[in-house]
A and B are shown apart, each in its own frame.
Chain A
Amino acid sequence: MGTEVIKGAKQETGFLSGNEMAALAASQINFHIMGYYPITPSTEVAENLDEMKAEGEHDILMIPGEGEHGAAAICYGAATAGARVFNATSAQGLLYALEQLPVQSGTRFPMLLDVVTRSVSGPLDIRGDHSDIMMALNCGWIILLAKDPQAAYDMNIIGVKIGELEDVRLPVIVAYDGFFTSHQKRRVQYFTDKSLVQEFLGSHPPKYVSIDPRNPVTIGPYMNDPDLINNKKQQSMAMEAAYNRLGEVFDGFYELSGRRYGLLETYMMEDAEVALVILNSAYETSKEAVDRLRAEGFKVGVMMPNVIRPFPAREIRECLKRVKAICVADRQESFGGWGGNMTIEVKAALKDDPDNRTLVLSRIYGLGGKEFYVEDAIDMLRETTGAADKGRVDVPFEYVGATPGDLNFNPGRIQNPLTKEETSQGIIKVTRDEASGKWDIKGVSARPLNEVPKRIAQGHSACSGCGIFPGLDIFFKGIQGDVVVLYHTGCAMVVTTGYPYSSHNVTYIHNLFQSGAPTLAGVVEAFRERQRRGEIPAADDITFVMITGDGGMDIGMGHAIGTALRNHNLIILEYDNQGYMNTGAQLSFSTPLGHATSTSHVGPYQAGNKLQHKDTAQIMAACNIPYVFTGIATQYRDLIKKATKAQYYAKNEGMVYGKILIACPLEWKSEEILGLEIIQTAVDCCFFPLYEVEHGITTITYNPEDKGKKAPVTEWLRLMGKTKHLGKPEYKDIVERLQKEVDRRWERLKAMAANPLL
């Protein structure tokens, strides 16, 4: 790009990452709506846009979904209402949204979705490969690829244009590599004047809209045979139209920007006898390999399609016509398909040329973000050259970069498993009068309980001062005997299980954070059923505990409620740090009003989070499960007693939900040493009351008013960097609104505690 004469409009040189360029394009397009849900590595797109919004740089209405499925649905609804719509996601997020994708394309509402490609779980891997985007091949969306930060910007503009063409009207994905492109800064060019972008795109006249009462339409009818096949034929025709018209859109963009894109990206392919077909950032790296091999006299080249839906089969056939052998390198596998999806599709494309004799090697590389080096590309090209010379392929399909391991090394136990005796030493003595339901819990004091082995080992990699681990340990002090835990995705999961390590001294399961509760329900029921069938000793006694963050109780709320309504014998313990901290502090529904997060910035046009915090404990109490509680580490006696009760109820009656507030010094921007003081102050100002709901009866277990400790919320807010701005006079009304809501909920709770019917 550096040497190319820039045509067209005035542009600025910048030094920006793929996510920054994607956000910049979106801000210049000025979409009406962005519906999104944070997921690494795409999250920065929404974060950057939120920051720009706080500075007044665009008007996009940013709507955080409760999960990617909801976010996709927000986008769909907005698109039917005639809005220009944007979303960005990755990996599981794409898969969770996947159901909505054919709805969007099948009912023909264009929008733009940036897929910042990442490995699909499980096991969970946050780094980049193409296993997510290939899942979207059959969704009816146009899929453009962007190989570097510049292309991320350009393709977003091109994507909107192509998707909105009258004879196309299809939603568009722009896919660029997670981390390699999304987080790498490069020298880039962008338009100084955003109106040029908007003029290039033109207006957005929707075909049908859902908000025109004078023109009533039915969007999404019940459409069986013989009609659906014709709807799909129309979609197929639209995709063909996109294929035919991409060239003119690329030409138009070249006129505007001076940057030329085609259906294919090629390097040294004109006389190449051997070639590598490889997508996105690895294509760029492979150009180095081509140069080095060319210097040795090998006629090699590299090629990638810039668009994979519609698939440019004709251009690929033409490009590879004289190539003796190619290696198609896929950053994912279609398991059992003897290649990744690009191998399969390139082979299919070549098959349609009866004269084609190109040999094809299929190689899987770079899964889970494994680095791709110039030497890897050289090795692939050398091996392909060997095949071309011999005229045959010895190894048609293989993994590159997978390693067998040290066969003399066999991982095993490093310690003896915890015993029931160790974990139930009888230090806590519990009696419950069955008739009255009254509890007598003795022996809850700090010192002796330190003799009980911890369920979590030392050596986890949480940030300094993380509140999760004191919180969980104190809770587990009240749980005697054997436990099995399930952790949702989140900080506690990531910092305790980085492979090949685990901090869990007990059996642990991970599942993605919309599905932990039903997964553990399945475990509990299978345990009981196998016990009933005599496969497991009847004396075995396990307490099942799910650990989730507040984020997991957003995206997983529906599943948690379902599990509660079925009343399985398990405990859900939520550690609430008021945001999606594992992914860089995006707001959650538990983020309090006015608090700054990376998706609720503070600036001249925005004053932090706009919503009051979610009352998850009351939502779960409304499910009428036997026991609901809240707790904090500084009131450890209270929390341990509640854990003790929780264990009883989970074993004997059904589901328990508990919520503990824990400090996150990194993202609360507070001093590590003050973590416990902050959560205690949150309780003392009644933001986070300590109480329990036992068989529907509410009991306040710590009343700061009785102790003469009741504080205004400002005492709590002044302790954190994320709420520092709330001390300024211009945010007085926000603090007042927060105080009012805290007071209202506290008074209501007191009324509930005073009246057993409430």
Chain B
Amino acid sequence: MTPVKIPHITIPKKHKEGAFEIRMESIGGLGANVAGKILAETGVLGMGLNGSNFSSYGSEKKGAPVKAHVRLCDPDTPIRNNSPIENPHILAIFHEALIKTVPVLQGVVPDSTVILNTTKTPAQTREMLKLHGGFIGCVNALNIAIEEKSRVNIPMLGAICKASGFLDPDALRNTIKNVFGRKYPQTVPGNLKAFDRGYDEIKIEFFPPDEKYPYQPFVRNPSKLGYMNQPIGGVVVSAGITREKDLSPSRVGFIPILDLDTCTHCGECDYACPDYCFVWEKGVTKTGKEAIFLRGIDYNYCKGCLQCVWICKPKAISIGKESDYNVDKLTLPHPFRKK
């Protein structure tokens, strides 16, 4: 690709090793990995910097938490550190719901900028995050993505670019054109628009570390099970313990809405649900027979696949926009979740 000529790039902030560091917190499927690649590739090939980029890979599943890391430094500074970014200059959170299950704020220092995909204001965000102090940038990336037929990652890139103070928007636009132009040329105009809107619409405010909330250091090994108390051989003795997890951050906007007045208790929704969210209770039918009755949905596990909507013959389940509901009130916990 043709580098965009930029005479002087002054990287405003650097760690000991000379790198400006960006950490993205997301869930699989929102494109944080691609955003990291675009950003780092722009820095290196488009702006002539040195850089590296990697993601927190596991057996990556859609909806599972992921992190993407980008380091950028002066052209002559070698990049040798292969470890994850602990004290990011920019922390970009692609998915607001992650905040309740992942300690995303770890290592954020007062000169960090936290960028959140949200409808909230920076002040509201500070309260929600209980942030020690620093810059907060808010952008409604989801809305931009929907309106411009893009994905959350592209307006987030625009916002990151603006917040960085040194990334060149034209160079980023150029990379976006190259990345999408090759295989999906029809998506380029929408993506560029989404990028520009992320750049223009981010609202950044500074909050001094006023002791209101404590600093959250980066914790490297929080595991309670170690070599003195792991059951040998890696055996797990707690059958079914995934029940204690909260899977709701896997959802990306939509939930099934159950109308019990229309429900015939046929039971087929339970046969379509990969996440076993339907809650049944014993009762007595009008004719006096003992039977089980569907009472609700435990949204703690619902990933929003909506196959229950597809299978429901009486159309008692419909598609709802999660933001239109108070899911905590709507949810009916499975009996084992009731303390």
Residues of A within 8 A of B (CB): 1-3, 13-15, 17, 40-41, 122-123, 126-127, 177, 179-181, 183-187, 281-282, 284-285, 287-288, 292, 371-374, 401-407, 409-415, 417, 445-451, 454, 456-470, 473-474, 491, 494-497, 499-506, 582-583, 633-634, 636, 665-666, 672-677
Residues of B within 8 A of A (CB): 16-17, 28-29, 37, 40-41, 44-45, 50-55, 57-59, 61-64, 75-84, 220-221, 223-231, 233-234, 236-245, 247, 250-251, 265-268, 270-278, 280, 282, 291-292, 298, 300-301, 303-307, 309-311, 334, 336
Contact between A185 and B37, CB atoms less than 8 A apart: yes
Bound CA–CA A109/B28 (angstroms):
43
Q: Which residues from chain B contact A458 at a C-beta distance below 8 Å?
A: 242-243, 247, 275-277, 298, 300-301, 334
Q: Which residues from chain A contact B239 at a C-beta distance below 8 Å?
A: 413-415, 417, 457, 502, 504-506
Bound CA–CA A82/B28 (angstroms):
44
Contact between B234 and A499, CB atoms less than 8 A apart: yes
Bound CA–CA A41/B54 (angstroms):
13
Contact between B62 and A464, CB atoms less than 8 A apart: yes
Closest 8 CB pairs of A and B: A405-B226, A459-B242, A465-B305, A457-B240, A446-B267, A447-B267, A464-B303, A123-B234
**Knowing A2-B78, A403-B227, A465-B303 touch, does A676 contact B236 (C-beta < 8 A)?**
no
Contact between B242 and A496, CB atoms less than 8 A apart: yes
Chain B, Cβ-Cβ closest to A177: B82
Contact between B276 and A446, CB atoms less than 8 A apart: no
Bound CA–CA A447/B63 (angstroms):
30
Could you list some 29 contacts between A and B, CB below 8 A?
A3-B76, A126-B58, A127-B57, A187-B51, A187-B79, A282-B82, A287-B80, A288-B80, A292-B16, A371-B83, A403-B221, A405-B225, A405-B226, A411-B225, A415-B239, A447-B292, A448-B292, A451-B292, A458-B300, A458-B301, A463-B28, A464-B303, A469-B273, A491-B59, A497-B236, A500-B238, A501-B242, A502-B238, A502-B241
Q: Which residues from chain B contact A491 at a C-beta distance below 8 Å?
A: 59
Bound CA–CA A68/B314 (angstroms):
50
Contact between B304 and A470, CB atoms less than 8 A apart: no
B152 to chain A, nearest CB (A): 16
Q: Which residues from chain A contact B298 at a C-beta distance below 8 Å?
A: 458
Q: Which residues from chain B contact A504 at a C-beta distance below 8 Å?
A: 239-240
Q: Which residues from chain A contact B82 at a C-beta distance below 8 Å?
A: 177, 180-181, 184, 281-282, 284-285, 372
Contact between B81 and A15, CB atoms less than 8 A apart: no
Chain B, Cβ-Cβ closest to A505: B240
Contact between A467 and B83, CB atoms less than 8 A apart: no
Chain B, Cβ-Cβ closest to A374: B81
B276 partner, pick from A403, A456, A464, A582, beta carbons under 8 A: A456
Q: Which residues from chain B contact A470 at a C-beta distance below 8 Å?
A: 271-274, 307
Bound CA–CA A132/B53 (angstroms):
25
Contact between A501 and B241, CB atoms less than 8 A apart: yes
Contact between B334 and A446, CB atoms less than 8 A apart: no
**Knowing A183-B57, A454-B276, A501-B241 touch, does A15 contact B78 (C-beta < 8 A)?**
no
Contact between B336 and A415, CB atoms less than 8 A apart: yes
Q: Which residues from chain B contact A409 at a C-beta distance below 8 Å?
A: 224-225, 229
Bound CA–CA A406/B230 (angstroms):
10
Q: Which residues from chain B contact A403 at a C-beta distance below 8 Å?
A: 221, 223, 226-227
Chain B, Cβ-Cβ closest to A667: B62
Q: Which residues from chain B contact A469 at a C-beta distance below 8 Å?
A: 273-276
Contact between B54 and A179, CB atoms less than 8 A apart: yes
**Knowing A179-B54, A414-B244, A450-B267 touch, does A499 contact B275 (C-beta < 8 A)?**
no
Q: Which residues from chain A contact B224 at a C-beta distance below 8 Å?
A: 405-406, 409
Q: Which residues from chain A contact B238 at a C-beta distance below 8 Å?
A: 411-414, 500, 502
Q: Which residues from chain A contact B244 at a C-beta distance below 8 Å?
A: 414, 459
Contact between B303 and A184, CB atoms less than 8 A apart: no
Q: Which residues from chain A contact B57 at a C-beta distance below 8 Å?
A: 41, 127, 179, 183
B327 to chain A, nearest CB (A): 16
Q: Which residues from chain A contact B270 at a C-beta distance below 8 Å?
A: 446, 450
Q: Which residues from chain A contact B300 at a C-beta distance below 8 Å?
A: 458
B75 to chain A, nearest CB (A): 6
Contact between B242 and A284, CB atoms less than 8 A apart: no
Contact between A404 and B84, CB atoms less than 8 A apart: no
**Knowing A126-B58, A187-B50 touch, does A464 contact B63 (C-beta < 8 A)?**
yes
B44 partner, pick from A15, A179, A454, A501, beta carbons under 8 A: A15
> Interface centre among A372, A417, A470, A673, by most B CB within 10 Å?
A673
Bound CA–CA A284/B78 (angstroms):
10
A123 to chain B, nearest CB (A): 4
Q: Which residues from chain A contact B28 at a C-beta distance below 8 Å?
A: 463
Q: Which residues from chain A contact B301 at a C-beta distance below 8 Å?
A: 458-459
Bound CA–CA A672/B310 (angstroms):
10
Chain A, Cβ-Cβ closest to B50: A187
Contact between A461 and B64, CB atoms less than 8 A apart: yes
Contact between B237 and A412, CB atoms less than 8 A apart: yes
**Knowing A459-B244, A502-B240 touch, does A406 contact B271 (C-beta < 8 A)?**
no
Bound CA–CA A122/B59 (angstroms):
16
Q: Which residues from chain B contact A673 at a C-beta distance below 8 Å?
A: 305-307, 309-310
Bound CA–CA A184/B53 (angstroms):
6
Bound CA–CA A371/B61 (angstroms):
21
Bound CA–CA A171/B156 (angstroms):
47
B81 to chain A, nearest CB (A): 5
Contact between B245 and A459, CB atoms less than 8 A apart: yes
**Knowing A470-B272, A676-B311 touch, does A404 contact B280 (C-beta < 8 A)?**
no
Q: Which residues from chain A contact B291 at a C-beta distance below 8 Å?
A: 447-448
Bound CA–CA A14/B1 (angstroms):
10
Contact between B265 and A2, CB atoms less than 8 A apart: no
Q: Which residues from chain B contact A674 at a C-beta distance below 8 Å?
A: 310
A329 to chain B, nearest CB (A): 14
**Knowing A40-B59, A371-B220, A633-B271 touch, does A457 contact B78 (C-beta < 8 A)?**
no
**Knowing A15-B40, A414-B241, A633-B272 touch, does A461 contact B307 (C-beta < 8 A)?**
no
**Knowing A126-B59, A402-B227 touch, does A503 contact B240 (C-beta < 8 A)?**
yes
Contact between B63 and A13, CB atoms less than 8 A apart: no
A249 to chain B, nearest CB (A): 25
Chain A, Cβ-Cβ closest to B49: A187
B55 to chain A, nearest CB (A): 7
Contact between B83 and A372, CB atoms less than 8 A apart: yes
**Knowing A15-B51, A474-B271 touch, does A672 contact B307 (C-beta < 8 A)?**
yes
Contact between B80 and A285, CB atoms less than 8 A apart: yes
B26 to chain A, nearest CB (A): 15
Bound CA–CA A285/B80 (angstroms):
5
**Knowing A403-B227, A465-B305 touch, does A185 contact B275 (C-beta < 8 A)?**
no
A368 to chain B, nearest CB (A): 11
Contact between B310 and A285, CB atoms less than 8 A apart: no
Bound CA–CA A470/B306 (angstroms):
13
Contact between A677 and B310, CB atoms less than 8 A apart: yes
Contact between B53 and A414, CB atoms less than 8 A apart: no
Contact between B305 and A405, CB atoms less than 8 A apart: no
B265 to chain A, nearest CB (A): 6
B49 to chain A, nearest CB (A): 9
A414 partner, pick from B62, B228, B240, B277, beta carbons under 8 A: B240
B243 partner, pick from A457, A473, A506, beta carbons under 8 A: A457
A288 to chain B, nearest CB (A): 5
Bound CA–CA A118/B21 (angstroms):
27
Bound CA–CA A677/B307 (angstroms):
9
Q: Which residues from chain B contact A448 at a C-beta distance below 8 Å?
A: 267, 291-292
Bound CA–CA A184/B223 (angstroms):
26
**Knowing A371-B83, A404-B227, A673-B307 touch, does A184 contact B52 (C-beta < 8 A)?**
yes
B293 to chain A, nearest CB (A): 9
Bound CA–CA A674/B242 (angstroms):
27
Contact between B83 and A473, CB atoms less than 8 A apart: no
> Interface centre among A402, A497, A501, A634, by most B CB within 10 Å?
A501
Bound CA–CA A289/B305 (angstroms):
47
Q: Which residues from chain A contact B76 at a C-beta distance below 8 Å?
A: 2-3
Chain A, Cβ-Cβ closest to B292: A451
Chain B, Cβ-Cβ closest to A477: B271
